[in-house]
Amino acid sequence: MGWIAEHVESIKSMKIRDTLSQLITLGMIVSTALIIWKALMCLTGSESPVVVVLSGSMEPGFKRGDILFLHMSEAPFRAGEIVVYNVEGKQIPIVHRVIEVHEQENSGKVDILTKGDANDWNDRSLYAYGQNWLKPQQIMGRAVGFVPYAGWVTIIMTEKPIIKYILVGALGLLVITSKD
């Protein structure tokens, strides 16, 4: 109880300049995070350098909650590569393995088929209506590395947004009321 009273007191005694200063600090932290994210996008060549695994279709290799590091290059796609791709009209990207490649001269026209390691069937039923093959343009990157469990924070915050608000609110409050 004394801890709460202390923080209430510090809020009451704050001057406008101090408040602004703390807000700017908060802004700088957010900007730094954004800069790091954009720099990662440049370094990896992928618009999404890090993704969280959301389904169990690549188990036991990847489990829900794992984080994947992606890399994108001009190199042609080949069987065995684990790719992250978007389907037209679907929000969530899919992380599966390439099992078939049919390529015209020098990546002219490329047809790709993917499948989750844990699935019995290939991904045709996941593609857009009438689409039998994936195009390289739909692929955001190749998975090159991963960290297990680290993505659970993101999953929890997405599926239970109230936790996100509580966390951000508490963080903001602590930053603003801390005495430096």
Partner 1 sequence: MQVSLTMNITADLQSLFTWNTKQLFIFVAAEYETPWNPLNQVSLWDAIIPAKEHAKFWIQTANKYRFIDQGSNLGGKKFNLTLHWHVMPKTGRMFADKLVMSGFRLPDEHG
Q: Of 10 and 154, which CB lies nearer to partner 1 in the complex structure?
A: 154
DSSP 61-91: TS-TT-EEEEE--SSPP-TT-EEEE--TT-S
Catalytic residues: 57, 96, 123
* Beta strands in the chain, from DSSP E residues, in sequence order: 50-52, 67-71, 82-85, 94-103, 110-115, 139-147
Q: Residue 140: which of 98, 62, 86, 77 has the closest Cα? A: 86
Residue numbers 82-111 binding partner 1 by CB under 8 A: 82, 97, 99-105, 111
Would you count residue 136 as binding partner 1 (CB under 8 A)? Answer: no
Rounded Cα distance between 118 and 115, Å, is 8
Of 12-20, 42-50, 139-147, 156-164, the segment contacting partner 1 by CB under 8 A is: 139-147
* Interaction mask 52-71, partner 1, x per CB under 8 A: --------xxx---------
147 binding partner 1? (CB under 8 A): yes
- In sign, the C-alpha dihedral spanning 125, 130, 133, 138 is negative
Which amino acid belongs to residue 147?
Answer: V
Nearer to partner 1, 109 or 160 (CB): 109
- Which CB sits closer to partner 1, 58 or 176? 58
Q: Rule CB under 8 A: which residues touch partner 1?
A: 60-62, 78-82, 97, 99-105, 111, 117, 143-148
